[in-house]
Amino acid sequence: NVNLTMDYISNTTKFSSFIKLKCQGTSSMSYAKKNFTVSMYSDEARETKLKKDFKGWGAQSKFCLKANYVDTTHTRNLSGARIAYDMVASRPDSEFKQQLLQCPRNGAVDGFPIKLYFNGEFYGIYTWNIPKDGWMFNMDKGNVNHMVLCAEKNNDSTNISDDILRCEFRKEWDGTDGNSWSIEFGTYSDTLKNSFNRCVNFVMTATDEQFKTNIGQYFDLYSLLDYYCFSYLVAHIDGLAKNMLMATYDGVIWGACLYDMDSIYGADWQGTQFKATNIQ
């Protein structure tokens, strides 16, 4: 974390804040233009959070400055999230869906474009986004059943290893943070690790008939179907399996959610070319 001060100026809002700023991302950390997580405070000691409501998200103090380095239009991530928002709203009812409907944007990201300056130097267009945080999912740190996991390994058939297979639901999560799955929100417990691995073991061991009959006892089925169909519709290669979010509210049923979508619609991960339109 780097301590800075920030001035926010728009047509309707102007305020100043003490902030903590840190780089955000994994492969994107190699880009010249970084993503940042911004935490706002009202005091220089950074002990009192400064909360602001942007776009009806509710008053919050933590946000993400997304560089969208591979997407000069700055629209891929947010337009993908609009699709995700509609998918959640239109899917059949479930307890998992009802939880997502309590979130600012149905468990999806939202944001808007800004111009960013550091010490008067123009750093380009960014988007000011909902972060991959508890308030995105309407989750509470005090609830032991609330957790969001993020897959950290690409689905790369040319480089099969145990770590890659693990986030393809072919090997148990060992509970470490950032190896195959990272904890985006929640507190590690053996109960939650065993709950997630119960789902992994079901995928690995169930017959086709058992899978079809019993999947609802482990996963929110329609969140998986939506994630799969969306990913193939828009070539969300960066979400298979890396960046897939798995969330639970009750510590039993896990569902899939979308977040990092800045390279959908065929953009290459480096932003230098487009994928073939028939890519699988």
Measured distance CA(174)–CA(66) in Å, rounded:
30
Within 101-236, strands assigned E span 111-118, 121-129, 147-151, 181-185
Q: What percent of the chain has pLDDT over 90?
A: 75
Contact 163, 173 (CB under 8 A): no
Q: Which two three-digit tokens encode residue 12?
A: 């309707």
Contact 33, 69 (CB under 8 A): yes
Measured distance CA(253)–CA(26) in Å, rounded:
28
Q: Kindly state the average pLDDT of the residues 115-132.
A: 95
Residue 20 has pLDDT above 80, yes or no: yes
Within 95-185, strands assigned E span 111-118, 121-129, 147-151, 181-185
Residue 160 has pLDDT above 70, yes or no: no
Residue 4 has pLDDT above 70, yes or no: yes
pLDDT for residue 241: 81
Say what the pTM is: 0.92
| pLDDT tens by residue, 178-205 | 778 999 999 999 999 999 999 999 999 9
State the Cα angle at 200 between 229 and 220, rounded to 5°: 45
Q: Indicate the helix (H) or strand (E) that contains 277.
A: none
Q: How far from 15 is each of 5, 8, 42, 123, 192, CA to CA, in Å? A: 11, 5, 10, 20, 41
State the chain's mean pLDDT as an integer.
92
- Which phi and psi (to 5°) does residue 135 adopt? -75, -20
Q: Indicate the helix (H) or strand (E) that contains 80.
A: helix 76-90
Q: Which two three-digit tokens encode residue 64?
A: 């993400």
pLDDT band at residue 216, thresholds of 50, 70 and 90? Answer: very high
CB crowding 213-249: b at 16 or more within 10 Å, else e: eebeebbbbbbeebbeebbeebbbbbbbbbbbbbbbb
Within the chain, strands assigned E span 2-9, 14-24, 35-41, 62-66, 111-118, 121-129, 147-151, 181-185, 245-248, 254-257
Rg (CA), the chain: 19
pLDDT for residue 280: 74
Q: Which two three-digit tokens encode residue 193?
A: 């690790």
Any idea what DSSP says for residue 166?
I
